[in-house]
Amino acid sequence: MSRANLVWLLVLPTVLAGSLVVRFASASLPKDKDYERMRLIADVLAEVEKNYVEDLDDAKRQKLVENMINGGLHDLDEHSMYLNPEMLKEFDKQNQGEFGGVGFLMSYEGPGKPLVIDTPLPNSPAYDAGIQAGDIILKVDGVPTDGMKTDEARRLITGKPGTPVTLTMLRGGSKTPEDIPLVRAMIEQPVVSGVSRDAANPLLWNYFLDQTHGIAYIRLTGFSGKTTKEMKAALDRCEAAGAKSYILDLRDNPGGLLSEAIEVADLFLAEGGIVRTMVRGSERAWTAKNDEKPYESPTQRPMVVLVNGLSASASEIVAGALQDNRRAVVVGSRTYGKGSVQKVFDLPDGGAVKVTTEVWLTPSGKHLQRRMTLDSESATVGIEPDPGLKVELTEQQWRHYAIAVKRANILPGKPGVAPKRAVPFEEIESKLPAGYKDPVVEKAMEHLRKK
């Protein structure tokens, strides 16, 4: 199925090509100009093949071509790029919010250090097998993971649902390797979380920072195809538990689907514009609808949105819509500044090209795209926090924040299945100061308590 109708705002790494730049002809140019340019590419490749100091194997030739294409696309803007078939598969996984695998997050902490499980994911094969945070991956189907980074390990671990994979691990602090046979399944990676895991049922979240004042907190880490559904479920739990105000944390959220950004913003708006997109002189606009929900009302449910320099694209649409409509105040630091829309078009080789097709503006008309505004000294890049609500973190505060987020995300091992850890899992807690409080969250709490 063609991906031409999938509209993306996700910030992805772009392949750079050094000094090689390919400029493709526009659709309005005569065909002979297109052919001349294609011939130029072929001539350059032929000369490299004939005269380069080293022989190029097929893999190097393919990489050269991909880099030439991406060099040209990157010169147009930082978000347009060629996706080879392998990259496209990963891209599609992010779109769906689910993938074939065993269900855990892992981290690589540097040369000479092993791959470590950060947390299992709910209701996954890994969780059901008792894999837990702190477990170490030694091998994947017999292939040692020494020096292996997470992307490489992920390619070995993920695969077609229903197929087997065996992980050799050190579990629960044990020094004895153990083979864990698993069967891959479709894995849903949740994008909505709360303050802490529910003590009675760790698969659920506690969403309240301050039960007395009814201050609910929801963290959103991406905009996949199931984001709005997850958000509605979280809001229903908050409302049932007596929420009186909301903090929506969009920090470190790189974006995702435009349609999900629009729907998430609409959850909190009863009226007003959400976003406008412009392409070659034409414009599209989306407006909120009134669902008569209490969390749509700024008087019934005062609201704060948290952002930082890694909040981008879809998260900026939500923050900008809520700020422009005075539905919420924005707390934190200036966002990344990605105000463009990409569409993905399939190619005959099994890959695709992701092309910037539109730019978007906030309801008030602010254009936030980084590359398109930095040439103007007066231009605004990204969403700026409301006056008096900017919070810039020091380097140490950044580290503490990252550790706290990692700790909050940990799902304990499945009761009765996960082995008891030989050493209590206290490594993360020991890196946080006693009584740690997130400065950005504290500023948001201070604002809402006044309400």
State how far the alpha carbon of 62 is from the alpha carbons of 68, 150, 317, 349, in Å: 10, 24, 37, 12
Give the pairing type, strands 329-332 and 303-307: parallel
Dist CA 66 CA 70 (whole Å)? 6
Dist CA 163 CA 260 (whole Å)? 32
Query: Which tokens is 221 given?
Result: 């880490």
Give the pairing type, strands 215-220 and 208-210: antiparallel
Contact 309, 338 (CB under 8 A): no
53's CB contacts (< 8 A; 6+ apart) are none
How many Cα atoms within 13 Å fall on the side-chain side of residue 438? 18
Catalytic residue among 244, 245, 249, 338: 338
Taken as a whole, the chain contains a residue count of: 451
Nearest in space to 128 (alpha carbons), one of 339, 418, 401, 342: 418
Question: 59 exposed, middle or buried (CB, 10 Å; 0-12, 13-18, 19+)?
Answer: exposed
Catalytic residue among 313, 315, 333, 340: 313
At residue 201, what is the residue type?
A: N
Q: Degrees (nearest 5) of the Cα angle 213, 299, 384?
A: 90
Nearest in space to 248 (alpha carbons), one of 300, 311, 340: 311
Catalytic residue among 252, 324, 354, 443: 324
**Where in 242-394 does DSSP place strands (E)?**
245-249, 273-279, 282-287, 303-307, 329-332, 340-346, 352-361
Dist CA 86 CA 294 (whole Å)? 44
State how far the alpha carbon of 123 is from the alpha carbons of 96, 102, 129, 190, 307, in Å: 18, 10, 10, 11, 30
Q: Known catalytic residue: 324?
A: yes
DSSP state for residue 390 in the 8-state scheme: B
Residues with a catalytic annotation lie at 313, 324, 338
